Homo-oligomer: A and B are copies of this chain.
């Protein structure tokens, strides 16, 4: 076989590659002012991903990619895709469970991201995978993907939620390096029998399930409930990145517009809303910028609109110490927005979802192409949000203005094959 971590077998128009990935995380998230009565902050260790995968071709241009995630004691899914991609054709078509093309950090495989988790708007906007159908065109220096999607992979009941998505990327080699310019758009409709969205974001790690920012009320253990009654939303995204030798930078911004359901609005028969109704449609914004440098001289891998595997110059098996990359990022999310009126979590007409800024620093050590150890520190600085009152109960500031910080450390060991 050929080897890409695991073996790849080829013959007679068929191919098959078994694979997998293990990510163990151990981390610490501080409890601000020790104010939240939860055992869900502090130390925690767990397996973040435990993937088993099978990829291959059958004759005629058809391919499959099955990626199961067995972490968490349950059956989870990453890409589960059937595709038609004839040799030498720039067109491709896909059916399956996939990411609706929603940004550079999310399209990049989790093995190759700069930090242990993707940028916070991917978490906040619920930019997860959906089942659907998509077509793509990939030229030498640009690509465009568009798709129509239903909901989760395993909904046995009626499934009326849907979305469209389109993303284009221009990725010339220019200015002495690799450039990346991308834009994306999503139009999403919620399930008609339960129209609502909860936008919330973790503090840059999954070693806790507490969120400090989110568009719903929190109980005293930090858990955020329900959300906004909404028939859907739209997301506009922009991407910019560049790689010059050992240096790279990347930045993305996304703007989300909610189609809120108004108080008193009458829904057609068979329809219902969940969460709080709002007088005006809110919109939310998030942006991040990162810069990274390979101390050992590697060049960050990139391929067709995504970051990809980096080839380590002096790996263990050749007597070296592997590759070391230092990455820094600032990641800002704003879920606080004027909506008018009053209600739960509305302060002087402002929906107090909170603002979260992450100051992130990661050291990625790759002993070989297939093994990674990450040490990451995040300072999450929160202003307002549903936990601000519990964390800072004596302040005389508006709840939307109270600020506090959380320290986060995450260690990761990763091997993929």
Partner-B contacts on A (CB < 8 A): 1, 3, 5-7, 9, 11-14, 16, 18, 20, 22, 24, 26, 38-47, 50, 52, 54, 56, 58-62, 64, 66, 68, 70-76, 80, 82, 95-97, 131, 150-160, 193, 206, 208-209, 270, 315-317, 322, 367-371, 413, 415, 417
Contact = CB atoms under 8 A, between A and B. Distances in A.
B368 A131 contact: no
B82 A22 contact: yes
25 contacts: A7-B14, A18-B18, A20-B54, A22-B66, A22-B80, A22-B96, A24-B96, A40-B158, A42-B160, A46-B153, A46-B159, A47-B80, A47-B131, A54-B417, A58-B368, A58-B369, A58-B370, A58-B371, A59-B370, A62-B415, A64-B417, A73-B74, A74-B74, A156-B208, A156-B209
B64 A22 contact: yes
A16 B16 contact: no
Contact of A40 (B20, B96, B157): B157
A371 B62 contact: yes
A68 B68 CA distance: 12
Contacts of A95: 24, 413
A391 to B, nearest CB: 16
Contacts of A208: 156, 158
A95 B159 CA distance: 40
Given A5-B14, A44-B159, 10 more contacts: A3-B12, A22-B66, A40-B156, A44-B155, A59-B316, A59-B368, A60-B315, A62-B370, A82-B415, A156-B208
A73 to B, nearest CB: 5
A18 B20 contact: no
Contacts of A11: 1, 3, 7
